[in-house]
Amino acid sequence: MSLARSHSSIPTDTGWPDGSIAGVAALVRERAGRDLVALDRTFIQRCLERRCLATGLVGPEEYQDRLATDPAELALLVASLDVHHTEFFRDPLLHALLEERVLPGLALRKDTEGGSEIRIWSAGCAAGQEAYSVAATLLEIADAWRRPIRFRIFATDASEEQVALARAGRYTDASVRNVRLRQLRRWFKPDGASWVVGDGLRSAVDFSVHDLLDTASSSPPASIYGGFDLVLCCNVLYYYRPDVQLRILERLQACLRPDGFLATGDAERDVVLSSSVFQSAALPSSLFVRWR
């Protein structure tokens, strides 16, 4: 199984032998308490290449020596392994599909099911932009239909820091650049150089810390049970080893309704299709439907 590694321009073949990567991993585990075992090898290698470039050190051996003696470099390497980049309405095609088809369809389906709530999970939500984007879309559909739509959005991340940022809901000018002007006026309050999510949107999302690798619970404990109609797990699987990706997918499958939707990043499409549990809901998007 190979994923398209499209979002880096750094060449992959730079001679980081497995032994050197294992040496770095042992050092990181011992000194920083961070286990790299579940991470994708190519991803780790790229992080190491970037740090080598940044430090001016060319080879694995020199870099390993530096790591062993420089706690600041160790901290920078560990930080580079945590990628939290996200955006409001990050994938335009996915968000168009959610707005025009998936969310209205789920709302109508719930009507026929006695008015139960739409259950959504943003897994690996980083600073909350994905969950707030979906909440704004649902609230705007309800406005257009001139009636409330019952829904709950759970949003989780393994990083406590990211969850705190998401709850605070404070964003820079640059990070709201994908938000339409009317949405900015409607859902955000300006505060100095920031935009702060207003109560209408904030109260629509329940943020909590949850690790997708946690074997104790396959869905966020805050949700009590899974039963999700839509799970967004975008740009998270990418960083993991193929077998770990499949393990995470199994958990997501377990907490989705049989006809529920899964959204991922584009680079994760192949792994989802290889799991044989999901099929494309709308090519060429990275939206899938659980069919088993």
Q: Which residues bind ligand SAM (CB under 6 A)?
A: 82-86, 90, 124-126, 130, 157-159, 162, 211-213, 234-236, 265
Shorter beta-carbon distance to ligand SAM: residue 155 or 204:
155
User: Which residue type does 290 have?
Assistant: R
Kindly state the smallest distance separating residue 214's Cβ from ligand SAM, in Å: 8
Shorter beta-carbon distance to ligand SAM: residue 60 or 133:
133
Give the residue from 82, 16, 79 showing the smallest Cα distance to 49: 16
Shorter beta-carbon distance to ligand SAM: residue 68 or 246:
246
CA angle (4, 252, 212) in 5-degree steps? 80
Phi-psi region for residue 89, left (φ > 0), alpha (ψ -120 to 50) or beta? left
Give the residue from 71, 149, 136, 49 showing the smallest Cα distance to 108: 149
CA 99 to chain centroid = 19
CA 160 to chain centroid = 14
- Can you say whether the dihedral through the CA atoms of 246, 249, 254, 258 is positive or negative? negative
Shorter beta-carbon distance to ligand SAM: residue 60 or 128:
128
Shorter beta-carbon distance to ligand SAM: residue 159 or 183:
159
Q: Tokens 């940022």: give the residue.
A: 165
Kindly state the smallest distance separating residue 232's Cβ from ligand SAM, in Å: 7
